[in-house]
């Protein structure tokens, strides 16, 4: 909720007067954004089942009435958080301007971005893990998420087409399968980093380990794309 402005007491004398403070204004967009930000943190920390509306409202500096007003219920709020998470990663991919890059350079940049996004946004992995536990029942309601991925697949398709025309890439690659492969090569490493670190007896989150894995992911995908 928007903070209430407090008027300062006037210190005048005689005929001096202090103008009354204007009434506090509610900022719906700011309130909604605060709730989304707080909900993302709560859902990422505890999953859908463990998250509490009271905690989200407290983190947001709002109250449950406002939360329900903007988002309906906890399930709908979880879907809004998922959509926001996908909007962020897909929006960041758009800003790579892949259509302006040479095919090999563009593909390398996409793989590198995907890998490093998961380094910098571990909450994204936790949200996806939680939604997979629920068999994507929330995402199935979202048209926006499908639209976002259609745009991503179009960019990958453009890279593949231009790469095949130049002789850089094989000409039988399906954009959907390649997207899944890029995501899988990067995502699995981070979604299982704790168990893998224990099994391998190494800290796979260390800087050197991350650099090695990033280079490997790029080599694997580009190796597959080679004619």
CB–CB of 57/75 below 8 Å? no
Give residue 227's pLDDT band: very low, low, confident or very high (50, 70, 90).
very high
What is d(CA 135, CA 122) in angstroms, rounded to the nearest whole number?
A: 20
Q: Do 25-72 and 74-225 show the same overall fold?
A: no
CB–CB of 88/206 below 8 Å? no
Q: Take residue 106 and report the two structure tokens written for it.
A: 């563009």
The CATH number of 25-72 is 1.10.10.60
Domain 74-225 has CATH 3.40.190.10: no
CB–CB of 99/158 below 8 Å? yes
What are the boundaries of each domain within the chain?
Answer: 25-72, 74-225
Give residue 28's pLDDT band: very low, low, confident or very high (50, 70, 90).
confident
pLDDT digits (tens, 9 = 90+) for 62-82: 888 889 999 999 999 999 999
Has this prediction a pTM greater than 0.75? yes
By C-alpha distance, which of 20, 47, 200, 30 is closest to 123?
A: 47
What is d(CA 157, CA 211) in angstroms, rounded to the nearest whole number?
A: 27
pLDDT at 57 over 70: yes
What is d(CA 202, CA 129) in angstroms, rounded to the nearest whole number?
A: 24
pLDDT digits (tens, 9 = 90+) for 128-184: 999 999 999 999 999 889 888 898 999 999 999 999 999 999 999 999 999 999 999
Tell me what the pLDDT averaged over the chain comes to. Answer: 88
What is d(CA 125, CA 43) in angstroms, rounded to the nearest whole number?
A: 11
Give residue 206's pLDDT band: very low, low, confident or very high (50, 70, 90).
very high
pLDDT at 193 over 80: yes
CB–CB of 11/29 below 8 Å? no
- What average pLDDT score do residues 31-42 get? 93
Residue 1 DSSP label: -
What's residue 26's pLDDT? 62
pLDDT at 12 over 50: no
What is the length of the chain?
A: 227
């Amino acid at each position: 909720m928007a903070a209430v402005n407090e008027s300062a007491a006037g210190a005048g004398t005689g005929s001096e007067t202090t103008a009354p403070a204007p009434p506090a204004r509610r900022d719906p967009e700011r309130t909604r954004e605060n709730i989304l930000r707080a909900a993302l943190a709560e859902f990422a920390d505890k999953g859908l089942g463990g998250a509490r509306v009271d905690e989200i409202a407290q983190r947001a500096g709002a109250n449950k009435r406002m939360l329900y007003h903007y988002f309906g219920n906890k399930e709908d709020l979880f879907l809004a958080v998922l959509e926001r998470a996908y909007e962020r990663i897909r929006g960041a991919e758009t800003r790579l301007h892949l259509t302006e890059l040479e095919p090999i350079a563009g593909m390398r940049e996409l793989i590198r971005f995907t890998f490093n996004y998961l380094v910098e946004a571990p909450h994204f992995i936790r949200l996806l893990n939680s939604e997979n536990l629920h068999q994507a029942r929330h995402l199935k309601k979202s048209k926006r998420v499908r639209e976002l991925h259609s745009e991503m697949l179009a960019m990958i398709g453009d890279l593949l087409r231009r790469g095949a025309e130049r002789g850089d890439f094989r000409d039988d690659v399906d954009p959907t399968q390649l997207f899944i492969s890029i995501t899988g090569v990067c995502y699995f490493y981070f979604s299982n980093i704790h168990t893998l670190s224990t099994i391998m007896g190494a800290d796979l989150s260390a800087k050197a380990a991350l650099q090695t894995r990033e280079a490997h992911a790029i080599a694997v995908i580009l190796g597959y794309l080679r004619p």
